[in-house]
Structure 1
């Protein structure tokens, strides 16, 4: 089977997993740890660049970072928190699912088109950089918003 097809199937499975996790996480209070840990766990993927097949050129790095940061705006806009019963919860957003599906479709289309001119390993490296450049700003924005609400909660408790 073609590597692009296999990696696209993997991307679809990961997207389904991400949607499931996101829906489940909205049922439990948010925490700084839950916001910070995913990018830290994902950062271990940078070890792929030890292997020459995954290495990318500086211009490919820049392109991947810029596209990832652009996509992160969509995720930032759909990630909101609310205070319920003295806890902070991530609000479920119907738009998030559609954005995730849209990003997946764009990823699969881009991978299909770019695989004709860019080696599959390099493409894998570029898409990892893109994903990392998307998740880091998103999680930073989530953390800032979480901390603001947490401070609001603390101020409210101290006032009583």
Structure 2
């Protein structure tokens, strides 16, 4: 871990913050595009509780960044990030729905998802430009991770609830026929 700390110290002390901001923004745009492609392909395959639960579990490993001082976020910003993430999750919960095809459940394709994704990219980019002058880049990265995690967990819980509600409704309907 000592070597990793040296690398992080070098990055945050030797590389101008504008390069870190531009680089992380480009990486985020790439990851956003990748998320859209993965989501589009996933809509062609049936959904399952496992596929709903795993993404937040995989993302939770990102919390390891907080082992390093550069990424730690003061409590007021933690609360702000969680609040904004929860607001964004409401939109995702409302726009994520399922449909039944061939006795299997699929995520309904939604044009709103694309708009939400690009909206989030724009909001993140603008926020990063504004906040990077007063908050260091590592802290900002921590804040955006908290925001994303606070958005994904309730969204996935909402998806799980919708999934089981629809599955139970389908089972009740098929039991009646």
Structure-1-length-normalised TM-score: 0.96
Give structure 1 stretches of 5+ with no counterpart. none
1:98 to 115, 122, 138: 115
The aligned runs of 1:141-152 (5 Å cut-off) are: 141-152=158-169
Corresponding position of 1:65: 82
Which whole-Å CA distance do the structure 2 matches of 1:30 and 1:157 have between them?
20
Corresponding position of 1:75: 92
Which whole-Å CA distance do the structure 1 matches of 2:99 and 2:30 have between them?
29
Of stretches 74-83 and 32-41 in structure 1, the one that deviates more from structure 2 is 74-83
> What is the Cα-based RMSD across aligned positions, in Å?
1.1
Corresponding position of 2:139: 122
Corresponding position of 1:8: 25
1:44 to 31, 46, 61: 61
2:70 to 53, 69, 79: 53
How far the C-alpha of 1:151 sits from its partner, in A, is: 1.4
Deviations 1:116-156 (A, max 9, x none): 00010000000000000000110000000001111123334
Which whole-Å CA distance do the structure 2 matches of 1:159 and 1:88 have between them?
19
Which whole-Å CA distance do the structure 2 matches of 1:40 and 1:156 have between them?
33
Q: Secondary structure at the match of 2:23?
A: helix
Structure-2-length-normalised TM-score: 0.87
Structure 1 ranges of 4+ moved more than 4 A: none
